[in-house]
Structure 1
């Protein structure tokens, strides 16, 4: 049932393909048997067989009474009974009535014996998600005596759980779990049902195993020491790989051939998987003092988690034959993947990343250039514009000149303060999943530093999910003091409504969190930002929920200073006498001032427009990518977060007022559907949307 990676000797080249057994071939035995039964029914009608307890005379009478003189025509029920003549077929087709008839005709012991292909009836019901038949086999007292829920077939050694994982039959999974099926059973190749689900990309099946069945899906290994992440990366299942990374799979684990998931993804040329793994390797927790590579956060009130970038080591890691992932991709002819990995490797090996001083300067991006331009314009304004007479010479300070000097100087200096604040502050980074373990011990004060209580943020968890008071009481009992040791179950963070809804694109495999709506991973800062607007290289930081207001105030102040300085410069230029040497300085200042003013005005208008609509720059540019923003064919947008101009502005000024959910409520989703249907009924756009 499950595929197998090619086994390679040390001095042999790795094969690039493997024979993946399709789930259609799993039902080939039933199809062949059904065809044989149909052919047999045509030759020997069931009514003439000895099993029906009827005589040939009775059959002839029935044929004569129902026929048209050209021969007997069997009833549809008779044809169905002829085709489904075994309990395995009845379970495969989900015919519960026929299954009961067969069990009455035969002994219940047939349920415990394999069919001609070596498979059990429960396996066929599990493969085709026939929940009613499976429940009957497991709940009926007589059937339960003969049905072994963990029975392994003679061909592959797999159980009903393995067969359910092939097609992701969640109903069968819950049913088998309720009746005590073992998730630790392995087949002949060491595959558990988690391996099979990863091989076939059944992401929902794995999530149900983790959350409802409380079964480990990350650390299980097959006979070749390959994890579920190995299989998901080899088969190219991006959503499954995302989920496994989010649940805590070790992306650096090597199998018996010393191959990591990156090696197998490079062999198959899965570029989206290699990119995901490399980005995930850029944000790993540092090893602790004992050299352990476990992703465990050592809690301390005064200590933040230290992350490390292991992309260079990860890409350069060699397998048992001495080849790294770049060389393997080239060997298999996947030049795009090889080039992608080479560029990442060169970027990591660049001297700019090795030199601490150069890295610190480059992390500032264009911020020093912007500050230098603003300071240069201020100096030029005070020396060559304000305190200059009509001849172009320096003039003594007057009340008017001092006034116009401070009208520009004060907003510019205050704006630089807001720029510094915007660069320095946290734009709204979300807590990464690497700082969490499934269970962790710590003092009450230490745990509250990591997991804010609901009342600190209006009942909202670090990822934006609503938490009720009962959950806070379980996490932080009222009887606990600041020094007592408590154990906190961190699985509450995995229980996300976005994942129950199947929104796997909200998983960030780098930060290993479920992103709330409107959040996005910033590739420059390498963190997920809440209410991500854009990454501004002139600020040297991402613009998000916490610093968007500071960015807007900076633009407003600088725009005011630019407008005043341009006006004063034009006035001075008109009053300047002909032939003055200072005319060239004023013209040059005007050119620089106008160039910067156009850029600032464009950013300011874009920010005001998006804030009034309660949308981010990222959402306005990529509205078609987000399913929570409805857009029609004319570009008209329905934003469910729009609360009116005043509320939208207040939400930006006070970030704590705006709490973004992980999923939209059903009422809001219904409004979006109704809006889309209404727009489909309109054949032509309104007058405002028509071209002149």
Structure 2
């Protein structure tokens, strides 16, 4: 049998203090941890029953005896519990009921082996025979700790409903939440916080929280969840290290970025007991990239704090709408003064009045849409804020109800916004300038002084189209007048400098606006946004199983255009439903489906688990009504 490892505290201390590198005890701990991980992988695939025998100097592995056919001989209560052989387990316990809490030669009890392998039926049977759910092994860990290493939510749920102590810690002070954070079991942390009100700020013997461990391990998803739950980002451990210090020590760039963005910016200048900041620790460990980023981020924030602008760019640099209004009106005035009223020709052309009306109507109409796009709500998503909590007032159930989201139950942790403390809808993004999440975010445009999103994207594109039309017609009219008059460039510059200036300015602005308009229309035809085009390599929903780009929203050029400009309900509905990766069932229902409706099954009286129904494991069809029948292999 094999025990899944729990990260050794000495390993974390080793990374903090290099003086312990050659410690014999640490070398043994490293060997044991690496060996356990390898054996864990083998057990999960080949289901080989292994027994770890440890001493102070070495780690040896003994493979259990097999019969002539190669199958493992299950002759002990621990093997029966590990393999989920309920019939053999029942025979053994009926003969000797004291075996239910008996420890094997390593000190591990049957319930721990069953929990490690997520054997819900076996756990149910052991509890019925009187197994102690809070019994510990030599390291002080319970069956709940063992289940947490594998993220076995069904086993954890059953143990907690049977009276397991969620706050019980081992000899190092690790609770179940610590273990889940050490192994990156985000789904389990999510389940414990939502259904069992787990305290994520609990400290181990060295003062480290779940966030410390997640940052040290470099698991981005647990960090996102813990930040959204409102865990403390500035708590120092016994060595004075915050979670950002530990992320810097390991050189985890993603962890450093998330911690700084999620509220840990003050830790950039925090020092540990040796007086080192996170950037200094990263440099000492040779993590040059993380060290430079942390140092630059700290310098930038210190410069901003010394100025009158908080942590955002000056208003004038992010709101250039007055400049744009002046540019449009200025070009319009130049057109009427130096093109329509010019003396290049003595005859009045019939097309003159037509072009003037087209330019005036499109330019002024474009300004109306500019005003709408700049003042409208681009699709701001209400900030959550429910994740904040304190150690004194506890965590009311309603404060984290926003976690009951199909996206999170589906494992889409990247949809968590650590700034807004909420789950972002698909295609939304956090706008750094607006400091809000925007639905169907396209980009932030300083020329309109607003983000471009779901509710003002159409106005923005129409504004571009109208202004492009106005500048194209005015430029064409000016060129036509110059050509028909037969005036050379030198003479035009000398005799009609206003017309020449209009041609230069209008041509330069027209080129840039035309490029932007073509880019926006191209994205409209594909049902894409600027943000998605630039980050398609990062967004999993824009990739197929092989990593190749695919657009699940593309319904064809014409339906995409109708959906954007007209808001065709059918096209919109089809586009939404073609987005793959969103489960429609609410989390509360899925928890119940995966929960323990019955600890006994109608077939054989055993609490089996199969797919989403824990009471039907091992059967090809589920007879309960809470989910559709399905087939598949049993969970290891």
* Shared fold per TM-score greater than 0.5: yes
Shift of 1:247: 2.0
1:75: Cα distance to partner?
A: 4.9
Corresponding position: 1:386 with 2:340:
yes
Deviation at 1:575, TM superposition (A): 4.2
Q: How far apart, CA to CA, are the structure 1 residues paired with 2:338 and 2:455?
A: 39
Offset at residue 618 of structure 1 (A) = 2.9
Structure-2 separation of matches of 1:177 and 1:195: 16
Q: CA deviation at 1:76?
A: 4.3
1:430: how far off? 1.6
Equivalent residues of 1:545, 1:652 under 8 A apart:
no
1:86 to 58, 76, 84: 76
1:285-334, Cα deviation, whole Å (9 max, x unpaired)? xxxxxxxxxxxxxxxxxxxxxxxxx73x3311222222111111111111
Counterpart residue number, 2:188: 205
- Structure 1 residue 332 corresponds to structure 2 residue 285: yes
**Mapping of residues 425-440 of structure 1, within 5 Å:** 425-434=376-385
SS at match of 1:489: helix
Q: Which moved more, 1:562-571 or 1:379-388?
A: 379-388
Contact 1:267-1:329 within 8 A present in 2 as well: yes
Deviates more, 1:250-259 or 1:176-185: 250-259
Residues 41-190 of structure 1: pairs in structure 2 closer than 5 A: 75-76=68-69, 80-81=72-73, 84-105=74-95, 107-139=96-128, 143-144=129-130, 147-153=131-137, 155-190=138-173
Residue 248 of structure 1 pairs with residue 199 of structure 2: no
2-structure distance, mates of 1:634, 1:80: 43
Cα distance per residue 1:463-498 (max 9 Å; x no partner): xxxxxxxxxxxxxxxxxxxxxxxx992433110111
1:508 maps to 2:417: yes
Deviation, 1:341, is 1.0
Q: Is this contact kept in 2: 1:201–1:240, CA < 8 A?
A: yes
Q: Is the partner of 1:31 in helix, strand or coil? A: strand
Tell me by how many angstroms 1:533 deviates.
1.6
Given that 2:230 and 2:389 are in contact with CA atoms closer than 8 Å, whether structure 1 keeps it comes out as no
Q: Which stretch has the larger CA shift, 254-263 or 519-528?
A: 519-528
CA contact (8 A) 2:471 2:510 kept: yes
User: Please, which runs of 5 or more residues in structure 1 have no aligned partner?
Assistant: 42-73, 282-309, 440-486, 668-692
CA distance in 1, matches of 2:184, 2:377: 37
Number of residue-to-residue matches in the alignment: 543
Does 2:51 align with 1:31?
A: yes
**Structure 2 residue aligned with 1:423, among 350, 370, 374?**
374
Q: Distance in 1 between matches of 2:505 and 2:105?
A: 86
Equivalence map 1:615-634=2 (5 Å): 615-623=528-536, 625-629=538-542
Contact 1:423-1:539 at 8 Å conserved across structures: yes
Shift of 1:377: 2.3
Query: Is the 1:23–1:166 contact (alpha carbons within 8 Å) kept by the matching residues of 2?
Result: no
CA RMSD of aligned residues (A): 4.0
Tell me, yes or no, if the aligned pair for 2:345 and 2:481 is still in contact at 8 Å: no
Contact kept in structure 1, 2:77 and 2:92, CA below 8 Å? yes
Contact preservation (8 Å) 2:206, 2:238: yes
Partner secondary structure for residue 167 of structure 2 = coil
2:517 counterpart of 1:639: no
Aligned equivalents of 1:436, 1:336: Cα separation in 2: 31
CA distance change for structure 1 residues 636 and 203 in 2, over 3 Å: closer, same or farther? closer
Task: Note the C-alpha offset of 1:176.
Answer: 0.8
Q: 1:227 to 1:633 in 2, by over 3 A?
A: closer
* Contact 1:367/1:538 (8 A) holds in 2: yes
Deviations 1:341-399 (A, max 9, x none): 1221222233597234994345426555544533442343233222221279xx9x999
- Give the conservation status (yes or no) of the 8 Å contact 2:458–2:564: no
C-alpha contact 1:365 1:538 (8 A) present in aligned 2: yes
Q: 1:628 to 1:264 in 2, by over 3 A?
A: closer
SS at match of 1:22: helix
Q: What are the within-5 Å matches in structure 2 for residues 443-458 of structure 1?
A: none
Structure 1 residues 651-682: Cα deviation after superposition (integer angstroms, max 9, x where no partner)? 39999999968975679xxxxxxxxxxxxxxx
The secondary structure found in structure 2 opposite 1:234 is: helix
Partner Cα separation in structure 1 for residue 243 and residue 575 of structure 2: 37
2:477 pairs with 1:568: yes
172-181 or 353-362, which moves further after superposition? Answer: 353-362
The question of whether the paired residues in 1 share the 8 Å contact of 2:526 and 2:554 is answered with: no
Match of 1:68 in 2: none
Query: Does the aligned pair in 2 maintain the 1:386–1:404 contact within 8 Å?
Result: no
1:218, distance to aligned residue in structure 2 (A):
1.9
Distance 2:240 2:583 in 1: 48
The within-5 A match list for 1:506-655 is: 506-576=415-485, 578=487, 579-580=491-492, 581-623=494-536, 625-629=538-542, 637-639=551-553, 645-651=561-567
How far does the alpha carbon of each residue in 1:35-82 deviate from its partner, in whole angstroms, 9 at most, with x for none?
A: 76857x9xxxxxxxxxxxxxxxxxxxxxxxxxxxxxxxx6549x743x
Question: What is the alpha-carbon distance in structure 1 between the residues aligned to residue 279 and residue 248 of structure 2?
Answer: 7
3-state secondary structure, aligned to 1:259? coil
Tell me if the contact between 2:429 and 2:437 (Cα under 8 Å) persists in the aligned partners.
Answer: yes
Cα gap change, 1:237 to 1:222, in 2 (>3 Å): same
Q: 1:97 to 1:231 in 2, by over 3 A?
A: same
Relative distance call for 1:134 and 1:356 in structure 2 (3 A) is closer
**1: CA distance, partners of 2:455 / 2:143:** 51
SS of aligned partner of 2:174: coil
**1:289-304 alignment runs, 5 A limit:** none
**Structure 2 CA distance for partners of 1:608 and 1:436, relative to 1, 3 Å:** same
| Cα deviation, residue 172, structure 1 | 0.9
Normalising by structure 2, we get a TM-score of 0.75
Q: Give the deviation of 1:569 after TM superposition.
A: 0.8
Distance of 1:110 and 1:636 partners within structure 2: 56
* 3-state SS of paired residue (1:535): strand
- Equivalent residue for 1:263? 245
Q: Conserved in 1, the CA contact under 8 Å of 2:51 and 2:64?
A: no
Deviation of 1:612 (Å): 4.3
Secondary structure (helix, strand or coil) at the match of 2:134 reads: coil
2:605 maps to what in 1?
none
Whether the 8 Å CA contact 1:386–1:401 is kept in 2: the answer is: yes
In terms of Rg, which structure is larger? 1
Question: Are residue 193 (structure 1) and residue 176 (structure 2) matched?
Answer: yes
Q: How does 1:302-451 map to 2 (within 5 A)?
A: 311=265, 313-350=266-303, 354-356=307-309, 359-364=313-318, 367=321, 369-390=323-344, 405=356, 407-434=358-385
